[in-house]
Amino acid sequence: MLLGKKRYFDGSEMLVSTVDEQNAMDFDEEIIQQGELISDRLNMLRLEQYPPDAQKGLRLFSLAEVADFIGVTQNHVKKLHLDGKGPVPTVSSSGRRSYTAEQMLELREYLDKHGRSGVKDYVPRRREGDHLQVISVVNFKGGSGKTTTTAHLAQYLALTGHRVLAIDLDPQASLTALHGVQPELDKNPSLFDALRYDNERCSIKEVIRTTNFPGLDIVPANLELQEYEYETPLAASDRSSPEGRLFFTRISNALKEVDDRYDIVVIDCPPQLGYLTLTALTASTGVLITVHPQMLDIMSMSQFLLMLGGILQSIKGVGAKVRLDWFRYLVTRYEATDGPQAQMVGFMQAMFGKRMLNNQMVKSTAISDAGITKQTVYEVERALFVRSTYDRAIESLNAVNGEITSLIHSAWRRK
């Protein structure tokens, strides 16, 4: 019961039920008010964290990180600097070298031009004949780590030299917020504007935004995305137009407009099996199904797979085919010391075999603590964490993302 104070004429006060004594605020009005309050507070935090224009920046990367992302030794990078070759790093008073993400890309370009031919692919972009890789990260159960997976994968691919487009397809817009955009304040269009069925549809080029990671752009999300779930069945029932019946081609067609600008598209699908998810899947060349290794989550995933398979079979007759180069299950929030979780991973490996990624994304306070400031582990400073905690998290993320990168390169027939 909600309690409030009632003051009497003699100055005394008494706790009373606010429901009895005043007109209770309607539920819809109250939650709108509270939503606006949260939005205002988050914007204040954004202004404090990223002054003066509330735009996210990006930290410097250490010599060790740069060498690891590029795939060379630290001595190799250090020697280039000493010889006056490549970009000039920031050097601390103790002699430690640091590079910006832009300089990392410059270093790749330099090594690609001046390194030994055929030894290493320093700029691992698409070549002639390579098709655009579109990776959908899916599960219709919330809390499976979809957005965390999508964000770190997209950023890792950009840091390793790929041209990446991240698409936030979830109306809740968590991936969007993680990249410094506050949908209700920044008023950005979403992919819905490139998918809608009326004359207001625009090109996907008009909704793409740059991020603080060079080589990584994003299509933000907002609540309007949910309109696609309502409009699609209406369009499908309109016999005078084939657009609704061919809804599953809309993301594929939108991406054709920017096919030459990107190597990889990573889509954060909503936690539901609706038209948005189905449209993403039929545009995909790779699918990543995230799963938390607990019995309830496995049971939920069973229902998800049965429903997904049934729906895909039902729309296959009208031309909706999912043509994948690969799909994998990714275990997320994994605690190796948790016996039941280890059992569940073994259970899944026995069932799915090669469809399981060999590496798991570990549960880490470094990942969750970074999220408090709307950052990823690739953005936060290592010095802010217990070194072993940070190193364990980054090692896990790099192993998972490196394995996915290998799948992408295999689809391009790279050695």
> What pLDDT, in 10s, does the model give residues 91-130?
999 999 999 999 999 999 999 998 765 557 899 999 999 9
CA distance 247 to 234: 11
Decide: 377 and 367 in contact? Cβ < 8 Å.
yes
What pLDDT, on the 0 to 100 scale, is given for residue 321? 78
CA distance 211 to 223: 21
In this structure, what token pair is assigned to residue 140? 């219709």
Bond before 52 cis per omega within 30 degrees: yes
DSSP annotation of 89: P
CA distance 204 to 195: 9
CA distance 158 to 148: 16
Q: What predicted TM-score, i.e. pTM, was given to this entire model? A: 0.87
- pLDDT tens for residues 7-58? 444 455 555 455 444 455 676 677 677 767 776 776 676 666 666 655 778 9
pLDDT above 70: percentage of residues in the chain: 88
Which residue in 128, 126, 124 sits closest to 109, CA to CA?
124
CA atoms within 13 A on the CB side of 405: 22
CA distance 51 to 180: 12
CA distance 149 to 145: 6
Of the listed ranges 40-49, 166-175, 322-331, the least confidently predicted one is 40-49
Which residue in 250, 257, 310 sits closest to 279, CA to CA?
250
Decide: 215 and 163 in contact? Cβ < 8 Å.
yes
What pLDDT, on the 0 to 100 scale, is given for residue 105? 96
Q: Chain-centre distance of CA 304, in angstroms?
A: 21
Which residue in 364, 329, 322, 345 sits closest to 138, CA to CA?
329
User: Is 185 a residue whose pLDDT tops 80?
Assistant: no
User: Is 358 a residue whose pLDDT tops 80?
Assistant: yes
Which residue in 322, 345, 324, 346 sits closest to 407, CA to CA?
324
